């Protein structure tokens, strides 16, 4: 769901860039003192996995592309603040080396994929883990990932419409329909990875995920 250069007006680009910049400064402040040497290699592995997953994409509407996101997976493992940093790093690398996205729309892509997506998925995940402590993480991960994809896609549609690129009534149904399908795959992958981590190294994952909302 990357937005390419030229599809957003300068007002939307400036607004999303300012919002994303302010958020990332807060994320770096909140996570800087809490990360340890064991978490950093895991962040690199997670970033590489998400980068590879996002390489498989296809055009949808209004200049957008559909693909797996990965924000919820990163958020459930590391917490939403760290997940945003991982996702932003992936987006910057994709823009610089793969020509995926663009400089003028980087703020919008970060806002959609590195802020909105991870937080929506994480909050749904936390809700289910609190309601059902033993196995709620599986359902929470699936629904969180699915809803995170829809939320990020919806934000893309709103930004395109706000820029006058395409009517909201045209882009929103199409982009939400396709990402509702993509979100199913996102939910399955996210749940499967967490099940694997729970069976093999869950204590480390739980420790890593202690970077929570209040950071």
What residues have CB less than 8 Å from 100, skipping those under 6 apart?
2, 54, 57, 65, 94
In order of their start, the domains of the chain are: 10-208 (1.10.1760.20)
Measured distance CA(71)–CA(128) in Å, rounded: 17
Q: Please, which pLDDT band fits residue 211 given cuts at 50, 70 and 90?
A: very low
Q: Which residues does residue 59 pair with via DSSP β-bridges, in sequence order? A: 65
Q: Which of 26-35, 59-68, 78-87, 122-131 has the lowest mean pLDDT?
A: 59-68
Average pLDDT of the residues in 135-147: 92
pLDDT of 181 over the 60 cut: yes
Which is more confident, 54 or 204?
Answer: 54
Average pLDDT of the residues in 162-181: 92
Q: Which of 36-45, 122-131, 168-177 has the lowest mean pLDDT?
A: 36-45
CA angle 10, 12, 18 (to 5 degrees): 100
Average pLDDT of the residues in 193-210: 65
Average pLDDT of the residues in 75-92: 92
Measured distance CA(146)–CA(22) in Å, rounded: 26
Its pTM surpasses 0.75: yes
Average pLDDT of the residues in 18-32: 92
Residue owning tokens 């509702």: 180
- The answer to whether 51 and 92 are in contact (CB under 8 A) is no
Residue owning tokens 């970060």: 110
Residue 59: what pLDDT? 61
Q: How far is CA 198 from CA 19, 95, 105, 135, in A?
A: 35, 33, 37, 11
What residues have CB less than 8 Å from 139, skipping those under 6 apart?
128, 132
Numbers of helices and strands, H then E, in the chain: 9, 2
pLDDT of 67 over the 80 cut: no
């Amino acid at each position: 769901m990357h937005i390419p250069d030229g599809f957003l007006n300068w007002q939307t680009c400036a607004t999303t860039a300012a919002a994303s910049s302010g958020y990332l400064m807060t994320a770096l402040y909140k996570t800087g003192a809490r990360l340890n040497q064991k978490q950093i290699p895991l962040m690199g592995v997670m970033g590489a996995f998400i980068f590879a997953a996002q390489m498989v994409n296809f055009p949808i509407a209004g200049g957008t592309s559909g693909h797996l996101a990965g924000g919820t997976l990163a958020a459930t493992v590391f917490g939403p603040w760290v997940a945003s940093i991982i996702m932003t790093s992936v987006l910057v690398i994709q823009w610089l080396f793969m020509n995926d996205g663009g400089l003028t729309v980087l703020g919008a892509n970060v806002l959609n994929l590195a802020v909105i997506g991870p937080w929506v998925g994480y909050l749904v995940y936390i809700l289910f883990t609190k309601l059902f402590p033993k196995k709620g993480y599986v359902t929470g991960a699936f629904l969180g990932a699915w809803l995170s994809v829809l939320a990020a896609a919806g934000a893309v549609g709103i930004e395109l419409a706000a820029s006058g690129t395409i009517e909201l009534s045209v882009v929103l149904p199409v982009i939400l329909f396709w990402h509702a399908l993509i979100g199913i795959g996102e939910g399955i992958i996210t749940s499967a990875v967490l099940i694997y981590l729970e069976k093999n190294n869950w204590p480390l994952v739980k420790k890593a995920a202690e970077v929570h909302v209040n950071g």
